[in-house]
Amino acid sequence: MKISSVNRKTEILETAAILFKKRGYSAVTMRDLATALGIKAASLYNHIDSKQQILSEIVLYLAREFTSGIKEIISKDQSNIEKLQSIIKQHVILTSSYMYEMAALNNDWMHLEEGLTEYLELRSEYENQFSLILQNGRESGELTYINEEVVLFSILSTLRNLYLWIPKKSELKQEDLVIALSETLLKGIVK
Amino acid sequence: MKISSVNRKTEILETAAILFKKRGYSAVTMRDLATALGIKAASLYNHIDSKQQILSEIVLYLAREFTSGIKEIISKDQSNIEKLQSIIKQHVILTSSYMYEMAALNNDWMHLEEGLTEYLELRSEYENQFSLILQNGRESGELTYINEEVVLFSILSTLRNLYLWIPKKSELKQEDLVIALSETLLKGIVK
DNA sequence: ATATTAAACTAACAATTGTTAGTTTTGATA
DNA sequence: TATCAAAACTAACAATTGTTAGTTTAATAT
């Protein structure tokens, strides 16, 4: 790759993420991406190496953010319930900043080539950290549940789908969303 | 389309669904699909009209099942909590039977052409019915929640992601999964 | 046995794909 | 103003795409 504008490359990644969210990685062509940026497809290669690299940079950046984030949360001196709330908050904040990129993280990771192994490791690591908080919460008597795996799966499903939903609810303030999510996920809805 | 074996067509749809789940609609070629069936790509066209038709039949069949299912549930003489449990049960049962097809319903619906309008109508209808149960549950005093949209989004996220998770947990009996999900989604996890 | 037909095949098409090579434009700096 | 590099361009490539046309195979019914 030539030495080229970091900003233009960022523009390309952001525009790619928008298209990936709408149609998915495979359905977006380099010509689509170029058109969205007002240039020709060949010009993209002054800034990036390949289509695959675009996906890889988007997905791995976010995966690293989430995994390093949960590690920081787990190391803090908080109750396990507070740690769960911190996780929810992290998802709301990252999803608000990276709405389009989140779609690639959720739906297009399987099209990674070189980066696939690292992605899978980061995801495992994240789920292991999450699982630890649930276990500690039960052992300390803060939490009760029948099946830990069901709980982990359920909470993660909600948090990972936020990217589909936050854009439609821009009137809902971040802080209020965190509160409503915490209530729903932690306390349920039965009176 | 020629009049041809209904069974062979079903085989094609099922194999397509398996591939769509793994790589997504756009990344699966007709040659991939044919190879998976042990035939040549051109032979597929003795049984189906187009790649698009395959997607459409898979997605619309399931969307219709879910929407007609929730309409039946809502018409029954049950408490709103029981209705929510019935919805959870419906998701577990349909997802168990149509694991691969559920992936297309969740991830590939945006690639529908002719069928897109019907799909969107069915989904709206489903969400409206679901919302009604939540509203009635609150009015009757069965349920409490801060934000109905957050609750709807959260429960639906979990139920719609079951297809990612059920295959890995085949040892968990359907009935037990319904119980664990009901506990988690309705009662939360805080002691 | 013959006729019929579903379902496979081979061969090819026009369009589209990601990417490369080589050239021109543009805008800042000396 | 002349220089130089970033970033655009045109043109083309080899491979792959969904699909069609026409043919052969194989099984069933007459």
pLDDT digits (tens, 9 = 90+) for B48-65: 999 999 999 999 999 999
Q: Is A161 in Cβ contact with B157 (below 8 Å)?
A: yes
**Mean pLDDT, residues B5-28 taken together:** 93
Instruction: Tell me the sheet residues that pair with B190.
Output: A143
pLDDT digits (tens, 9 = 90+) for B81-123: 999 999 999 999 999 999 999 999 999 999 999 999 999 999 9
Cβ contacts of B79 on chain A, cutoff 8 Å: none
Verify if strand D has an atom below 7 Å from the CB of B5: no
Are B55 and B103 in contact by the 8 Å Cβ rule? The answer is no
The pLDDT of residue B3 is 36
Distances (CA, A) of B87 to A7, A24, B75, B119: 48, 29, 13, 19
pTM (2 d.p.): 0.94
A 33-52 residues, CB < 7 A, strand C: 41-42, 44-45, 50-52
Q: Is B149 in Cβ contact with A191 (below 8 Å)?
A: no
Sequence-ordered list of residues with C-beta below 8 angstroms from that of B70, at least 6 positions apart, any chain: B87, B90, B126, B129, B130
Q: Smallest Cα–Cα separation from A95: which of A66, A60, A128?
A: A66
**CATH number corresponding to A51-187:** 1.10.357.10
pLDDT digits (tens, 9 = 90+) for B144-190: 999 999 999 999 999 999 999 998 887 889 999 999 999 999 999 88
pLDDT in tens, chain A (191 residues): 333 356 899 999 999 999 999 999 999 999 999 999 999 999 999 999 999 999 999 999 999 999 999 999 999 999 999 999 999 999 999 999 999 999 999 999 999 999 999 999 999 999 999 999 999 999 999 999 999 999 999 999 999 999 999 988 878 899 999 999 999 999 998 87
Please determine, looking at this structure, whether the domain spanning B52-187 carries the CATH number 1.10.357.10.
yes
